[in-house]
Chains A and B, each alone.
Chain A
């Protein structure tokens, strides 16, 4: 097996706000191997975007990494100077965000923006023609027809799906080894979304670019990812192979999440909505963050936070699987009473 390209260990991120300090990420651990597609999934506000931003140290000004390590290609990102970090951004790790219109400057042509992006990453010495050629190639690669002409167009002259392709082309200009796609398809229609997902898979296959795909859509995750990180209230509650996660999820939250997805098969039945709400990050309960919604919760769940355990190829953060607990204190895996598929 290849070495991990990206290792995130015990990552902790807080946001400083008027109302107090928000622990947005807590003890997040996972890794991405070369050429792998890893999905991060979870409900709104669980910290997915924060995770993506923290990896590149692009958090908003009130955010702060307060613990843990992010190793990329054998180097600790925290130890890099800002110059080196800039080189990593773009060349090593590139990002694509949800809204392509706000990421592109409306006043410049797509070509100018792509050439600027190339220059920003130290290819300024090359002639403009070379840079333009490379930009055209990049656009062609992401499936923009007639790129040589289209490069002179402004962003608004492209449709939403095309703009997202352009963003991906820009991200791929420097052949990064890791692409972070934060809800890169969420604003798109089903058919356009499928096109972009297909494009990402192709890039992954042809260039060996590893992809960290952030999405709240379980379908999208199942479609393209090899591994999945399930997040809840700033924690990675379960992590593992996509088949294992979808076939034999261990964590009660993952099970409940999968069960709540409507589908024609559930026609005529009541959907298994998870009771209660995601707790506010400002008032997190002391124990397991899922305890007040979990059908299995017992005393220990409210008292202590479960640690991350390896079980059957997965990593899961739940006392159900903690064999160090005496049987009497342990929550019982009585799936019949919990939402989830048997």
Chain B
């Protein structure tokens, strides 16, 4: 019919779920890779993943191996990025730092997503008093900037890898809860929810089968966009000495240490901030491309696409 013809133009991924999950993922990746920003993001993230998984193989030295004689050196053939104040190889420290960055960011974002998803679904679906309480809670958390909140919480809990993860997760959770709540409320308006109810479907069935799949795509986007925030918060905390405790080579700690010796050798700062920037940029670009591909409504540039 006319609809089919008109939609022929729209990118295939936007159509809900034609084909199996794998082909869909493949098509999504292809669609993302077709855009320059998306391709850049994909490459950066792939490189990062390789580095993280194979850190001991890729890194030329142990990140903890000290060589006081060769401290605060500039780049050389032996130490591509130079060395820090204890003579540790900066390249290796940056590489292992990626492990910490992602090791904190991914679980933190997953926690945030999980908590946000649950709160958002419940408050969005049930509405009423539950919803009001949830909103007030989210507002209270979001009233503080994420870093300040994390700082305050860490000051109470004490710095450790686990606590950093939890604290960042809590700080980011309201973002997810808000998105999920708004999406749930919108999805709830769809007539198919009522149609399911009229067949006698339970609340859980409707939430899991019919609401969740429709809010998954924006969540995906949010995750990609939030990982850099989590990395940045982690680095910020480490910079302030409240992150993952030393001698772990967190990028923030590298920055903080480098800062003390910046007049002697700027290389630690350059290396750590380059890593931070590249990673952040990579995820941000992937997130934005995903948003364009999955949800043209959000990007606001293409409007005529929807089915009539």
Q: Do A and B bind each other?
A: yes
B1-A278 in contact (CB<8A): yes
Task: Enumerate chain A residues within 8 angstroms of B1, measured Cβ to Cβ.
Answer: 44-45, 277-278, 280
Contact assessment for B2 and A282 in the assembled complex, using a CB-CB cutoff below 8 Å? no
Contact call A45/B2, Cβ cutoff below 8 A = yes
Closest to A45 in B: B2
In the complex, are the beta carbons of B9 and A62 less than 8 A apart?
Answer: yes
Interface residue tally of chain A, by bracket?
Answer: 10 to 19
Q: Is B8 an interface residue (CB 8 A)?
A: yes
Collect the chain B residues with CB atoms within 8 Å of residue A19's CB.
5, 8-9
* A45–B2 alpha-carbon span in the complex (Å): 5
A18 beta carbon closer than 8 Å to chain B: yes
**Once the chains bind, are B9 and A18 in contact (CB under 8 Å)?**
yes
Residues of the A chain whose Cβ atoms lie less than 8 Å from the Cβ of B4: 280
Give the chain A neighbours of B2 by CB distance below 8 A: 44-45, 278
Residue numbers in A under 8 Å from B3 (CB-CB): 45
Contacts of B1-40 to chain A: CB distance below 8 A: 1-5, 8-9
- Residues of the B chain whose Cβ atoms lie less than 8 Å from the Cβ of A277: 1
| B304: A residues at CB distance < 8 A | 60
Tell me the chain A residues, 17-40 only, with Cβ under 8 Å from chain B. 17-20, 22
Mask of A199-224 contacts with B, CB within 8 angstroms, 1/0: 00000000000000000000000000
Q: Are A18 and B8 in contact (CB-based, < 8 A)?
A: yes
A95 to chain B, nearest CB (A): 18
Bound Cα distance A342, B261 (Å): 98
Neighbouring B residues of A5 by C-beta, 8 Å: none
Bitwise, A108-119 to B at CB < 8 A (1) or not (0) is: 000000000000
Q: Which of A17, A44, A60 contacts B8 (CB 8 A)?
A: A17
A281 sits at the interface (CB 8 A) = yes
Instruction: Please report the C-alpha to C-alpha distance between residue A277 and residue B2 in the assembled complex, in whole angstroms.
Output: 11
CA distance in complex: A4, B5 (Å): 34
Report how far A163 CA is from B285 CA in the complex, Å.
Answer: 42
What is the distance, in angstroms, from A187's C-beta to the closest C-beta of chain B? 13
List residues of chain B with CB within 8 A of the CB of A17: 5, 8-9
State how many angstroms separate the Cβ of A59 from the closest Cβ of chain B. Answer: 12
> What residue in chain A is nearest B11 (Cβ atoms)?
A18
From 278 to 315 in chain A, residues with beta carbon under 8 angstroms from any chain B beta carbon are 278, 280-282
Query: Chain A CB within 10 Å — which of B1, B4, B8 has the most?
Result: B8
Most buried by B among A17, A62, A278: A17
Closest to A62 in B: B9
CB under 8 Å from chain B, chain A span 40-87:
44-45, 60, 62
For B1, B4, B5, which residue has the most chain A Cβ atoms within 10 angstroms? B5
**Cβ-defined contact, A45 with B8, below 8 A:** no
Instruction: Determine how close the nearest CB of chain A comes to the CB of B11; give it in whole angstroms.
Output: 8
Chain A residue, CB-CB nearest to B1: A45
Give the complex CA separation of A7 and B61 in angstroms.
82
How would residues 256 to 286 of chain A score, 1 for a CB under 8 Å from any chain B CB and 0 otherwise?
0000000000000000000001101110000
Say how far B31's CB is from chain A's closest CB, in angstroms.
12
Within the assembled complex, what's the spacing in Å between the Cα atoms of A60 and B302?
Answer: 13
Hey, which bits of chain A sit against chain B, CB under 8 A? Answer: 17-20, 22, 44-45, 60, 62, 277-278, 280-282
The 3 closest A-B pairs by CB, nearest first: A45-B2, A19-B8, A17-B9
What is the interface of chain B, defined by CB distance below 8 A to chain A?
Answer: 1-5, 8-9, 304
- A-B contacts, 27 listed (Cβ < 8 Å): A17-B5, A17-B8, A17-B9, A18-B8, A18-B9, A19-B5, A19-B8, A19-B9, A20-B8, A22-B5, A44-B1, A44-B2, A45-B1, A45-B2, A45-B3, A45-B5, A60-B304, A62-B9, A277-B1, A278-B1, A278-B2, A280-B1, A280-B4, A280-B5, A281-B5, A282-B5, A282-B8
Please name 17 further chain A to chain B contacts, defined as beta carbons within 8 Å, in addition to the given A277-B1, A281-B5, sorted by A numbering.
A17-B5, A17-B8, A18-B9, A19-B9, A20-B8, A22-B5, A44-B1, A44-B2, A45-B1, A45-B3, A60-B304, A62-B9, A278-B2, A280-B1, A280-B4, A282-B5, A282-B8
